[in-house]
Amino acid sequence: MIGLSHATVRFGARTVVDRLSFSVPIGRSLAILGPNGRGKTTALRAMLGFQRLHAGSRTAPSIVGYVPQVSVNNQRLRAIDIAVMGRAAHLGLFRQPGDEDYAVARTALNRTGAAGYAEQPFDRLSGGERQLVLLARALATGSEVLVLDEPAAALDLHNQERLLVLLESLRQERHKAIVFTTHDPNHALAAADDALLMMPDGSALFGPVAETVAPAHLERLYGVPMRTVELSGPAGALHRAVLPAFAGARAG
């Protein structure tokens, strides 16, 4: 399990996270949504112990598979070297990763669809390819908890689909607690059981996706009218999606 209980974080006189409570047990997936600057990343960092709490408490295992927002990396490391870093907590202070650790890393790269990048320099990969490698690193930790900070932010639509299919596959297995932040409520509909909506007024709404990712709540969250549509997916199955009311408004 991972989560926060009555957590408060302040930066000077500004309260960014105010008495926030939520928990994600093993087998559940949570999407955190909110407008820019509302504190989504701060909440993740507090949950992971990277950000000091001014009040409240956090719950997290000693090892967490963490995928940060992609940043520029100038080190000429191979993708396999990045993935095997996930084994660091299982190694002694001076021990180097062995064959077993590299086997775990390669299995993780294969799971994320990044096996073909294993020998390529990480800094030469595209943003989407790097994100899949970082997710493999998180899986290589073996942790029952995965935390991803806006994993789809820099991805094109094709790579967003790859990521969401993988997150949904992990969710369906029910072996991990998964937490990810996103600006797109449709990512929550695609790959989460629950959603945490961090409202502009400082309040928060936590609950099942079917109840929270709804037009009325999203209008409060983003300040724009929202609508629900049904889209035909594979094999003709219908899927719910939410769109801002201005989407498709142009006549021609």
- Report residue 222 CA to chain centroid gap: 20
For the chain, how big is the Rg over CA atoms in Å? Answer: 19
The whole-number pLDDT of residue 185 equals: 95
Phi-psi sector, 95: left (phi>0), alpha (psi -120 to 50), beta: beta
Sign of CA dihedral 168, 171, 173, 175: positive
Strands 29-33 and 177-182: parallel
Q: What is the pLDDT of residue 250?
A: 58
What pLDDT shows up at residue 116? 96
pLDDT < 70 stretches in the chain? 70-75, 92-94, 233-236, 247-252
Tokens at residue 154, please? 């820099």
Region label for 198, one of left (φ > 0), alpha (ψ between -120 and 50) or beta (otherwise): beta
Residue type present at position 129: E
User: Contact 63/7 with Cβ under 8 angstroms?
Assistant: no
What's the pLDDT score for residue 93? 64
Q: Identity (one letter) of the amino acid at 194?
A: D
Neighbouring-strand partners of residue 148: 67, 180
Provide CATH code, domain 1-64+143-213: 3.40.50.300
Q: How many CA atoms lie within 13 A of 223 on its CB side?
A: 6
Cα–Cα distance list, 233 to 164, 170, 197, 238, 241 (Å): 14, 20, 26, 6, 11
pLDDT the model gives residue 240: 87
- Res 89: pLDDT: 84
> Between 99-112 and 127-140, two packed helices, what is the crossing angle to 10 degrees?
130
Output the pLDDT for position 85: 94
Domain boundaries, the chain: 1-64+143-213, 73-139
Amino acid letter, 158: H
Listed in order, strand segments (DSSP E) in 171-249 are 177-182, 194-198, 204-208, 226-232, 238-244
Question: Quick check: helix, strand or coil at residue 14?
Answer: strand
Q: What are phi and psi of 37, to 5 degrees?
A: 80, 5
